[in-house]
Amino acid sequence: PLPVAPNSGKTEVYLQATQRALAEGAQVQALVMVPEINLTPQLEARFRERFEPAFGAGAVVCLHSGMTPAQRLASWLAAHTGRARIVLGTRMAVLASLPGLRLIVVDEEHDPSYKSQEGARYSARDLAVYRAKVESEALAAQGARCQVVLGSATPSLESWHAAEQGRYVRLAMPSRIGDGALPRLRLVDMNHQPKGAVLSAPLVAAMAERVARGEQCLVLLNRRGYAPVLACHDCGWKSACPHCSAYRVFHKLDRTLRCHHCGFTERVPRACPDCGNLDIAPVGRGTEQIEEQLAGLLADVKRPDGGPARVARMDADSTRHKGSLEAQLATMHS
């Protein structure tokens, strides 16, 4: 495994490891895995920039569920025939046909997204390690092997234990690029903030200051939609999904209740289905609500060019259409 400090340059390690593997022969291939589809565009750009000048335009392909069936088939065939030297993908890519596989990189190996909980249950990280073992046994007669790099700033306990037991080789990258210091952290107790506040006053003030300087801010929240649940305060009804054990999430933009587990969706009821109370309200917060709050809180803040603060939301809902993720990333970088 490769335990690394944040911003330590592990992507460059992946690039150089791939370059070294491909130098072993004209048919050698590498597989680079990431936990989320949203991580593929930037990584793909880095790999294309590094390897396409030497290996051609079709040397790097992607493989993930966000592609159309035709696109996935084209990438799979490119990998199967050896035209693609590098395959970038999510957990499904570990099952791709790669006859010349010599290197597997699992970025953010601790991420639970590598585990498939539906249909065939498996851990793509563990399957990558097993596949490398099988590939190495087949290559032993040629004096070659398939290597695995598991990268993470917070390694999983399984990988850490395997390294402690000597089954994995631990390669540490403890320093950040340029020996930069870690950012200062401030923990704000929301119990001391105004009741019902979504964002703390110190956070809003700090963001306003950054926007006024022409800088950018990134707010992370692990809940999409407007609120995780819709509830009736009279009878206690909540927007539970009738088909599974999850709650349906309130999406304000299209006025729907969606189950993010089984996909069941219906319009928001005008009144409580159990008692008829008209006062049903969202409980908790999601990315749609944070976007709405920020737009209001930063409405009077001006950028150095005199323009207003711009707030963009990037989640699975806003990037579902083809090209939308790349367009949002380009907007953020501009």
pLDDT of residue 66: 86
pLDDT of residue 178: 67
* Sign for the pseudo-dihedral over CA of 170, 176, 179, 181: negative
Longest dimension (CA), the chain: 74
* Model confidence pTM above 0.85: no
pLDDT of residue 153: 87
pLDDT of residue 326: 81
Q: Give the C-alpha separation, 276 to 257, whole Å.
A: 18
CATH 3.40.50.300, the chain: domain bounds: 2-179
CATH superfamily assigned to domain 2-179: P-loop containing nucleotide triphosphate hydrolases (3.40.50.300)
Write out the two tokens for 230. Answer: 């819709």
Mean pLDDT, 10 residues at a time, the chain of 334 residues: 64 94 95 93 93 94 93 97 97 96 97 90 96 96 95 93 94 75 86 88 95 94 94 94 92 94 93 93 94 94 93 88 82 80
Phi, psi angles (nearest 5°) of residue 170: -90, 120
- Neighbour count for residue 325 (Cβ, 10 Å): 19
- The closest alpha carbon to 39, from 235, 319, 321, belongs to 319
Where does residue 143 fall: left (phi above 0), alpha (psi -120 to 50 degrees), or beta otherwise? left
Residue 218 exposed, middle or buried by CB count within 10 Å (0-12, 13-18, 19+) = exposed
pLDDT of residue 4: 59
pLDDT of residue 231: 96
